[in-house]
Structure 1
Amino acid sequence: MSKLELPPQYLRDLTLIAHARDESLAETVGFLLEYFRLGAAGMTPKAAPAEPQGVPVYAIYQGQRIEGTYDPMSNSLTVTSGALAGERFNTPSGAAKAAVAGIKPGVAPNRSGFDFWFVTSTGETLRSIRKAR
């Protein structure tokens, strides 16, 4: 039998499904594979996520630099470096909170993302390009 290594979020999701179905992780994987083969065969494969579009940004917290891309149209921020690389957050504040919590878990992570993140090209806070809502 081969060993399968999964990212923590996939393992968490599989564990939830297995618990809900009252079965082992192996049985859950088998169920999902069978479901896809039989029940969802007409589905088209999910497209690869598009590269983040928008404004390159960065933050420095506790001496660690974190980079990301801010999308002014959706107000979302995608982290592109560090432990959160590839994670998309609905707001810059959500990304800031996750970054702080990941680097220093014992600290209250509440931060204004528009003051936490800096525009890479100018060094000014993200607030400098924030659109009025």
Structure 2
Amino acid sequence: MPTMQIADGPLRELTLIAKSRNESLGDAVAFLIEQFHRSATNSAQPPAPPTTGVAVYATYQGERIEGLFDPTTAGLTVTSGALSGSWFGSPSGAAKAVVANLKPGVTPNRSGYDFWFVASTGKTLASIRNKR
């Protein structure tokens, strides 16, 4: 199997991406390559954000990030900021990715149900967790 050398800085970033997605480093590389190809092929027209779900937001490092939470799957799609269009299998995965993106170097572990807020009520996502 081929090997590759990665400088310390990019390796830390890649490790954060892998951890936020609960994946191996190899899977994180594959994810980034897929994202690159998507952005290259869709550069003329950005992908449309999902239209169904519970509107949520988080504020971190002074930046408001918006998303849509799917109560059926518990997945969350980020709809604004650098991660716009990214889908995560859980609110915590999305929260970790936001933290890793906005403040690299800090431990990104977060409870997504406390990190994200329901846009219509201002309450934490935990407030609707048991209503799925």
Identity percentage of aligned residues: 61
* TM-score normalised per structure 1: 0.63
Q: Following the alignment from structure 1 to structure 2, what is the Cα–Cα distance between the partners of residues 92 and 52?
A: 18
Q: Distance in 1 between matches of 2:51 and 2:103?
A: 26
For structure 2, which runs of at least 5 residues remain unmatched after alignment?
A: 1-31, 38-46
Provide structure 1 residue ranges, at least 5 long, that are not aligned to the other structure.
Answer: 1-7, 14-47
Does residue 82 (structure 1) correspond to residue 69 (structure 2)? The answer is no
Which deviations, in whole Å up to 9, do the C-alpha atoms of 1:22-69 show, x marking residues without a partner?
xxxxxxxxxxxxxxxxxxxxxxxxxx8782411000000010100000
User: What is the TM-score when the length of structure 2 is the normalising length?
Assistant: 0.63
Q: Give the counterpart letter for 1:85 in structure 2.
A: S
Partner of 1:117: 116
RMSD: 2.3
Residues in 1 aligned to 2:35 and 2:124: alpha-carbon distance in whole angstroms: 37
Q: Is the CA contact (8 Å cut-off) linking 1:56 and 1:120 kept in structure 2?
A: yes
Considering Cα pairs closer than 8 Å and 6+ residues apart, tell me whether 1 or 2 has the greater RCO.
2
Query: Residues 130 and 66 of structure 1: is their aligned pair in 2 closer, same or farther, counting only changes over 3 Å?
Result: same
The alignment of Structure 1 onto Structure 2 pairs a total of residues equal to 92
Q: Does 1:130 align with 2:129?
A: yes
Contact 1:77/1:89, CA 8 A, preserved across alignment: yes
